[in-house]
Structure 1
Amino acid sequence: MNGLLVLQTDFGLSDGAVSAMYGVALGVSRDIRIFDLTHDIPQYNIWEASYRLYQTIAYWPENTVFISVVDPGVGTARKSIAVRTKSNHVVVTPDNGTITHIKKYIGIEDVRLIDEQVHRLPGSAHSYTFYGRDVYAYVGAKLASGKIAFHETGPEISPEEVVELPVSEAVIQDGAVKGNIDVLDVRFGNLWTNIDRSLFLQLGAQYGDLFEVTIENSTRQVYKNIMTFGRSFADSHLGEPLLYVNSLDKIGVAINQGSFAKAYHIESGNKWKITIRKVDGKNCQ
């Protein structure tokens, strides 16, 4: 491995949980370098943990080890796994769906069940509520430092056995593209959809074109309006909505210098649907 360890949790930074994980990892080896992906995953939100890994992992050097701990099933029969991706990164995590987006969009090369009788912080065998410290930080640091090889973490299982969350595909239907709001750009309140730029362009989209955007959740229509497809936020006036291509080459929805999510009380996940239809600008005057 390359000595790089990246942590993601839903723990926040208001107490000592993340610091304890750092301490365990550095106790394994002081030669590793530890970085934070985020510790602000919404509590218990496995879907968002899966998406943030997918959003980030490809930009790190090969052999970087990631630890992702969003673990509402801690202490139950859920398994702990180490995953080698086809991009040659390693993820140490509960087997609860955290690998969903990586499996679908990047691919999995190898999966190991972590042998928790062998690989855990010495003296922690009677604790069942802090696997992030006692198992994942310990195993991740051993892998990152090269003190154990990937295959030594435990027995191999098929990638098909890994728990996956349901993922919907964006489609073109009745002259419109339909998809989901996968996640929010939390800091700025933009909506990130699962609609690839290439699919969106099949509508004949060009910068400056107008589109009718409809957003629904599982019970009602939340938003319907016409907005411009812009190259950047500067292609709209202050406070105006727009469509744009985000950093993952997917379609995003934003308000110029405002929070779209907050303005219209929009969330993310499989129940949040978006429909985008090209309109004739002449009829929108």
Structure 2
Amino acid sequence: MNNYLVLQTDFGISDGAVSAMYGVALSVHPAIRIFDLTHDIPQYNIWEGAYRLYQTISYWPEGTVFVSVVDPGVGSERRSVVVKTATNHYIVTPDNGTLTQIKKEIGIVEARIIDEKVNRLPKSGESYTFHGRDVYAFTGARLATGIITYEQVGPEVEVDSIIELPVSEAKLIKGGVTGSIDILDVRFGNLWTNIERELFKQLDIVYGDSFEVTIENDTRQVYKNIMTFGRSFADSHLGEPLLYVNSLDKIGVALNQGSFAKAYHVETGVNWTISIRKVQNISYN
């Protein structure tokens, strides 16, 4: 372990919840280094919490411990787990689907249930609504600082038993490719799809090619237009739509210096689908 603890929650920072987690971790060991992934996950949005972990985790040093708390089922029978990834990172979290993308895209090699008899903040045993502080921050800090080994987290469980949320697969269609809109680049309103660059390249594309892009929510069409495939936002005019490869090597959709999501009221999830078909090149004057 490397003393690094990374926190993600849907708590926001308008009250003392995140600060309490910091305090617990520092009380475990004052040398711990604590970082924030984000505390702006929309309330109860397990899918977005899962995706933000996937977006971030591979760029951290091996041995880093992540605590992810998006937990609408707190106090219920859902499990509290710590998993070890194929990239040698550790995630402390409720087993409620938060590990979906990690399991699918990165890989989980081992999973353990947290034994709360030993891995729980002392004198917190009668509290059932703040496991982020009492169980996850406490356990994560003990693991990150080497006070406990991974084996001392609790009993091992089958990796296959880790809960996953429904996901859809991008695929080639006649003349194009189809997929889902997995997440937003929130601050800028760009759409991030599940269409891998390598799959998109099978359409024999080059920068500057034109595509018909159709976006649907279930069976309701919400957008259809022609846009170009660019290397960066500089390859389009102000306010124009474009396709590009995002930082996760997947296809994104953007408006140059505008929010595509807000402009066209597009949201995310498996019900939001996108179809991209190659058309004859056009030019904008």
Sort the TM-score into its range (normalised by shorter chain). Answer: over 0.9
Task: Note the 1:238-253 alignment, pairs <5 A.
Answer: 238-253=238-253
Aligned to 2:269: 269
Aligned to 2:48: 48
Aligned to 1:96: 96
| 1:146 partner letter | G
Residue 212, structure 1, aligned to residue 212, structure 2: yes
Task: Note the 1:28-39 alignment, pairs <5 A.
Answer: 28-39=28-39
The superposition leaves residues 168-187 of structure 1 with CA deviations (integer Å, 9 ceiling, x where unpaired) of: 11000122200000000000
Cα displacement (A) at 1:118: 1.8
| 1:109 partner letter | V
Aligned to 2:134: 134
CA distance in 2 between partners of 1:234 and 1:174 (Å):
30
CA distance in 2 between partners of 1:184 and 1:265 (Å):
12
TM-score (norm 2): 0.98
CA distance in 2 between partners of 1:102 and 1:283 (Å):
40
Gaps of 5+ in 1: none
CA distance in 2 between partners of 1:73 and 1:172 (Å):
37
TM-score (norm 1): 0.98
Aligned to 1:181: 181
| 2:165 partner letter | L
Is the 2:190–2:255 Cα contact (8 Å) retained in structure 1?
yes
CA distance in 2 between partners of 1:284 and 1:213 (Å):
17
CA distance in 2 between partners of 1:283 and 1:244 (Å):
17
Identity %: 72
Aligned to 1:73: 73
CA distance in 2 between partners of 1:233 and 1:282 (Å):
18
SS in 2 for 1:267: coil
Gaps of 5+ in 2: none
Cα displacement (A) at 1:117: 2.1
Cα displacement (A) at 1:219: 4.2
CA distance in 2 between partners of 1:218 and 1:71 (Å):
27
| 1:247 partner letter | S
Cα displacement (A) at 1:204: 1.2
| 2:135 partner letter | V
Aligned to 2:59: 59
Is the 2:210–2:282 Cα contact (8 Å) retained in structure 1?
no
**4+ long deviations beyond 3 Å:** 282-285
The superposition leaves residues 37-79 of structure 1 with CA deviations (integer Å, 9 ceiling, x where unpaired) of: 0000011111111110000000000000000000000000000
Residue 159, structure 1, aligned to residue 156, structure 2: no
Seen in structure 2, the aligned counterparts of structure 1 residues 21 and 282 have a Cα distance that, compared at 3 Å, is closer
CA distance in 1 between partners of 2:254 and 2:193 (Å):
11
SS in 2 for 1:182: strand
| 2:44 partner letter | Y
SS in 1 for 2:42: coil
Aligned to 1:203: 203
CA distance in 2 between partners of 1:249 and 1:128 (Å):
40
Aligned to 1:280: 280
CA distance in 1 between partners of 2:284 and 2:51 (Å):
36
CA distance in 2 between partners of 1:267 and 1:283 (Å):
29
The superposition leaves residues 219-270 of structure 1 with CA deviations (integer Å, 9 ceiling, x where unpaired) of: 4101000001000000000000000000000000000000000000101111
Seen in structure 2, the aligned counterparts of structure 1 residues 263 and 193 have a Cα distance that, compared at 3 Å, is same
Seen in structure 2, the aligned counterparts of structure 1 residues 91 and 282 have a Cα distance that, compared at 3 Å, is closer
Aligned CA RMSD, in angstroms, stands at: 1.2
| 1:179 partner letter | G
Residue 3, structure 1, aligned to residue 3, structure 2: yes
Aligned to 1:233: 233
